[in-house]
Amino acid sequence: MSETILEVDAVTMRFGGLVANENVSFAVGRGQIFAVIGPNGAGKTTLFNAITGIYQPTAGRVLFRGQEIVRGLGGGAVLRAVIVGLLTAFGLLVALHISDLWSKSIDDNYEYGEAFPYAAAVRSFFATLGGHFTGWGLVPVALGFVIGAAASFALSMNARRAPDLIARAGIARTFQNIRLFAELDLVENVLVGMDSRLKTGYWHALLRLPRFFHERRVATGKAMELLRFVELDKKAMERAKNLPYGHQRRLEIARALASEPQLLLLDEPAAGMNPAETVDLMRLIRKVRDRGVTVVLIEHHMRVVMGISDRIVVLQYGKKIAEGTPDEIKCDERCIEAYLGKEELG
Amino acid sequence: MTRERLRGTRRTRSAWGGGRLALVLLLAALLLPAANHLVGDFGLLDPVKAIFLYAILGLGLNVVMGFTGLLHLGIAAFMAIGVYAFAILTADIYPFQLGFWPAMFLTLPIGAAAGFLLGAPTLGLRGDYLAIVTLGFGEITQDVLKNLDTITNGTQGINPVPPPTLPWFEHGDQGWMLTWYEFQKDAPLPWYYLFLALLVIIVVLNRNLEHSRIGRAWMSVREDDLASKAMGIPPVRTKILAFATAAALAAFAGGLWASSLSSSGEPANYDFQVSILALCIVIVGGMGNITGVLIGAIAVSGANDIVLQKLFEWMQQNGWTSTGSVFGSPNNWKFLMFGLALILMMRFKPDGLVPARRRKGGAPADPGPAAESSSHEEAA
């Protein structure tokens, strides 16, 4: 096998008493089409959610290109917590004594009709503040620091494996129950997917500086190219919610590809498709792979799975029961019993 | 389809779908003073000026509610912050005494900072909880302004607050000279055009944001929070940006408001009712649609300041009502009417009078099973 791009390492997902994934491990090689199959409720989508950061694994790790995608909790987060803590402490101290500070620094220094001595005002502001920065006055300062720092640190903790971070790192996905931006048109949907590759900031957008026009031209062109790739370019102006079901699934793939991912997770891409659409989809998935994107898919259509997968993992009741090439899985007794069924293999 | 053609259709269909209507409104607004002059003075300039202010407030709220889809019930607090910031920076009982323009400009970062301070710790909250936070913030701001009387003058408010000024050439002893023209209370026309010009600028900037990466990120949060995250949109940062933008616009509207009143008014002027009025403007016009907000401002603020007012005057002239009667004054009925309007809108036209991004002729190809099977409802 070539270089490993995704490694699911002993991932366990527990929700209260329910164990959705138990000690699941597998590795996906770069350039593969990798399928995750299993009966309904086997924990396939949960696993996808754990990989993309929507859930945090109860135990185990997800490695992408040999590393966990996490925001560091080192210097940056600590520094931010300290700064937020100090600002909170300062803000709380000022807020508690605002009337006193105002009258001593502003009112006392201001003579109607005369120029305002700003330097003197700043001096008396800090002198007054210093007067409150002793004895019991230190309690709110300490309290403010602790609350601010703790809150900031807690937020950093929560955002460690945030979905947006993982998406930006190069893992894109589609959803089992299609989640398009219904009111936006197709181009806009794809452009949202492209967001992490765009650089126009707030001010460029607000004032329409030259860079905005340049980037819009390039981005719209790329979006149209992606829509052509999934054969939806003729409907570029339609709103996503007006697309037929099969087209919505393809649009989701285009949107996911817009972030230029290295790994694409497809959650039941063929669900609800007719046989002709399914054949198109298989061709599309191969084309995606040929772009250099590794594909992991959850699928129930055995024709799709057996037809395009390089490798298959079978889950049942949250546990991995088999892994191998399509031919190996077809012949695996446990898989046939658990999921495939004898008649379906014909 | 070529890229050129694509861009063409894009602009005509989505960006300027309501754009033509907006231009008609602009033309009407430009010509109104002339009509007022020719046909007879109906005293429309002042109430229409108020409509411009409410439109700015509504455009701010629209960023949070319409684009980003977050229920915001405390926009009046940010307006109050703008009012007091402007008053403190300009009034001569304070030492700062900035001119109109620097102070107006400063209301933007001050409002944005207030929005950031409220948003940063709370925007991780979901839907209803955020609405409660904004509601609470509105009440707290009012109370703080009322009780912080060393700074804000408490319930008396701050006055006088200076009027706008504009650079002006005047013929004096040494020929033409650059001076500052100070707006006068009894000359409503400069006020009217100044407020209109500022509104136009804000509409354009708002539209720029809407059709940019920032606006798309906001709308993706509104359409599907989870999918938006999974596409790499940082949720809290995106929402904070919307929140701060809305707060800045509301504060700007507040600064203009104070200047046109030449007083801060008392803190109770910026209570929940103002937030609800802004909410009505956004909902009646059509959430997420800039032209819709303008229509909403005309409908709601127009009903409030023009129709009800005229009705009341007319009823008084005919002796059908007196100032003493609580039930006789249409003003006392207005919130009943707004409430009723909200209920009726929600029941019969939930997309507003000008639904967001209406497509002319672009009939849905096949609404088929897609609408039911997608799960946007749960994410909303």
Would you list the DSSP string of B173-226?
A: TTEEEEEEEEP-TT-HHHHHHHHHHHHHHHHHHHHHHHTSHHHHHHHHHHH-HH
A-interface mutation test, from B140, B150, B212, most A Cβ less than 10 A away: B212
Burial of A118 (0-12, 13-18, 19+ CB in 10 A): exposed
- The complex scores an ipTM of 0.91
A-interface mutation test, from B5, B231, B252, most A Cβ less than 10 A away: B231
Tokens of B247: 């707060």
In this prediction, residue B254 carries a pLDDT of 97
User: Would the CB atoms of B374 and A180 count as touching at under 8 Å?
Assistant: yes
Query: Nearest CA of chain B to the CA of A164: how many Å?
Result: 4
**CB of B372 within 8 Å of any CB in chain A?**
no
User: Would the CB atoms of A116 and B362 count as touching at under 8 Å?
Assistant: no
What band does A343 get if pLDDT is binned at 50, 70 and 90? low
For B14-50, the pLDDT digits (tens) are 444 567 888 888 988 888 888 877 877 777 888 899 9
| Residue ranges covered by each domain of chain A | 1-69+162-170+261-346, 75-158, 181-258
In this prediction, residue B378 carries a pLDDT of 35
Burial of B174 (0-12, 13-18, 19+ CB in 10 A): exposed
Q: Given the DSSP bridges, would you call strands B165-172 and A294-298 parallel, antiparallel or unpaired?
A: unpaired
Using an 8 Å CB-CB cutoff, list chain B residues near A158.
124
Query: Nearest CA of chain B to the CA of A6: how many Å?
Result: 17
Instruction: Decide if pLDDT at A331 tops 90.
Output: no
Establish, for the pair of chains A and B, how many residue pairs have beta carbons separated by less than 8 Å. Answer: 190
Instruction: Decide if pLDDT at B360 tops 60.
Output: no
- Chain A residues 246-275 with CB within 8 Å of chain B: 248, 255-256, 259, 272
Instruction: Decide if pLDDT at B349 tops 50.
Output: yes
- Chain A residues 133-172 with CB within 8 Å of chain B: 151, 155, 158-159, 162-164, 167-168, 172
**CB of B91 within 8 Å of any CB in chain A?**
no
User: Would the CB atoms of B229 and A164 count as touching at under 8 Å?
Assistant: yes
- The domains found in chain B, sorted by start residue, are 18-352 (1.10.3470)
User: Would the CB atoms of A183 and B356 count as touching at under 8 Å?
Assistant: yes
Average pLDDT over residues A243-258: 94
Average pLDDT over residues A114-138: 89
What band does B363 get if pLDDT is binned at 50, 70 and 90? very low
Tokens of A269: 């891409």
Return mean pLDDT, chain B: 83
Using an 8 Å CB-CB cutoff, list chain A residues near B144.
none
Q: At a CB cut-off of 8 Å and minimum separation 6, what does A323 contact?
A: A26, A311, A312, A313, A314
What band does B255 get if pLDDT is binned at 50, 70 and 90? very high
In this prediction, residue B352 carries a pLDDT of 78
Using an 8 Å CB-CB cutoff, list chain B residues near A144.
none
Query: Nearest CA of chain B to the CA of A1: how many Å?
Result: 29
**CB of A108 within 8 Å of any CB in chain B?**
no
Give the whole-angstrom CA distance, residue B336 versus residue B55: 22
The structure's pTM equals: 0.89
Q: Which of B94, B27, B102 is nearest to B294 (CA)?
A: B27
Element (H, E) at B277: helix B272-285
A-interface mutation test, from B4, B152, B213, B376, most A Cβ less than 10 A away: B213
**CB of A86 within 8 Å of any CB in chain B?**
no
Instruction: Decide if pLDDT at B72 tops 70.
Output: yes
Q: At a CB cut-off of 8 Å and minimum separation 6, what does B159 contact?
A: B87, B91, B262, B263, B264
Share of chain B above pLDDT 70, in %: 85
- Chain B residues 186-245 with CB within 8 Å of chain A: 205, 208-209, 212-217, 219-220, 223-224, 226-236, 241
Query: Nearest CA of chain A to the CA of B331: how many Å?
Result: 38
Tokens of B55: 């439109």
Give the whole-angstrom CA distance, residue A344 versus residue B286: 52
Pick A1-69+162-170+261-346's CATH classification: 1.10.10.10, 3.40.50.720, 3.40.50.300, 3.40.140.10. Answer: 3.40.50.300
In this prediction, residue B323 carries a pLDDT of 62
User: Would the CB atoms of B92 and A112 count as touching at under 8 Å?
Assistant: yes
Write the residue in A151, A167, A238 that is nearest to B362 by C-beta: A238
What band does B367 get if pLDDT is binned at 50, 70 and 90? very low
Query: Nearest CA of chain A to the CA of B329: how many Å?
Result: 41
Instruction: Decide if pLDDT at A170 tops 50.
Output: yes
Using an 8 Å CB-CB cutoff, list chain B residues near A52.
230
- Nearest chain B residue to A91, by CA: B117
- Nearest chain B residue to A166, by CA: B232
Element (H, E) at A296: strand A294-298
Sequence letter at residue B36: N
Neighbours of A124 (CB within 10 A): 18
Query: Nearest CA of chain A to the CA of B377: how many Å?
Result: 10
What band does A155 get if pLDDT is binned at 50, 70 and 90? confident
**CB of B360 within 8 Å of any CB in chain A?**
no
Instruction: Decide if pLDDT at A333 tops 50.
Output: yes
